[in-house]
Amino acid sequence: MVQEAGTLGRKSRVNIPFTAEQFYGVFAAYNTGVWPMQFPLLALGVLAVVLLVRQSIYSSVGISAILTVLWVWQALAYHLALFTVINPLAYVFAAVFMAGAAVFFWQGVLHRRLNFKSIPGWRMRAGWGLMIFAWFIYPAWTYLSGHRYPAFPTFGLPCPTTLFTIGLLAFLVKPYPRSALAVPFLWCFVGSQAAFVFDIQADLGLIVAGVVGLILIMQSKNLTTSLDKTLNS
């Protein structure tokens, strides 16, 4: 089934400088090369959720620091170290992901402008939904679609980590800077192409995450009252 999915991706791709087999091969190289770092990365995600649920004066700074680490990791360990081998644009992706990490560090760690709290409402439901999707539904769906480890997008790679990130950002307390959402929002629409081109169907979740991200961007300033009333009704 993996080979069938790869064939579908190869036939349907448009102006993509690598094949489906090469794309899956990068996942395999990553998972075998960084083993067992998948577990510490997942532990960081769990710690972020614990900090969110068990609020303290350090929670928001801690969550921002974890997001910084996750996005630096994606930039260096995936895009720069591996994806550049098959895609020259990966150098741009690495720079953009580093910029996203810098925003989390600047806004959330240094200036403490990112405040995360679990407040009942649509954003809390969306946040939990996206994080649960990233951790449980995404890998299950990917497996059932025919993809097998190690040629498999694990947590710490861009698409599942972006889903998780926007899930966390849904807990931001207004007002918050739009810049924190910029890179995750953009990657939703870059990464979601894999659902159509390479048959990673779980990446369709990035479209939903992108919609959530767009609403969060709109809500970061003054476009909040009527939208909140509509979504919470």
At 21-54, the pLDDT tens digits run 999 999 999 999 999 999 999 999 999 999 999 9
Residue 162 phi/psi, 5° resolution?
-65, -45
pLDDT of residue 179: 96
Q: Which tokens is 131 given?
A: 């994080």
Cα–Cα distances (Å) from 103 to 44, 78, 127, 194, in that order, read 19, 19, 20, 26
Q: Given pLDDT bands bounded at 50, 70 and 90, which one contains residue 4?
A: very low
What does pTM read for this prediction?
0.89
Residues in contact with 46: Cβ distance below 8 Å, sequence separation at least 6, in sequence order: none
Instruction: Read off the pLDDT of each residue in 214-224 and give the average, rounded to a whole number.
Output: 78
Rounded distance, CA 156 to CA 134, Å? 10
The CA-based angle 203-46-155, given to 5 degrees, is 30
pLDDT of residue 76: 98
Rounded distance, CA 178 to CA 6, Å? 37
pLDDT at residue 224 is higher than 80: no
* Average predicted confidence (pLDDT) for the chain: 90
pLDDT of residue 5: 41
Instruction: Read off the pLDDT of each residue in 59-66 and give the average, rounded to a whole number.
Output: 98
Q: What is the pLDDT of residues 105-163, one digit of tens each?
A: 999 999 999 999 999 999 999 999 999 999 999 999 999 999 999 999 999 999 999 99
pLDDT at residue 13 is higher than 50: no
pLDDT at residue 1 is higher than 80: no
pLDDT of residue 222: 47
pLDDT at residue 84 is higher than 70: yes
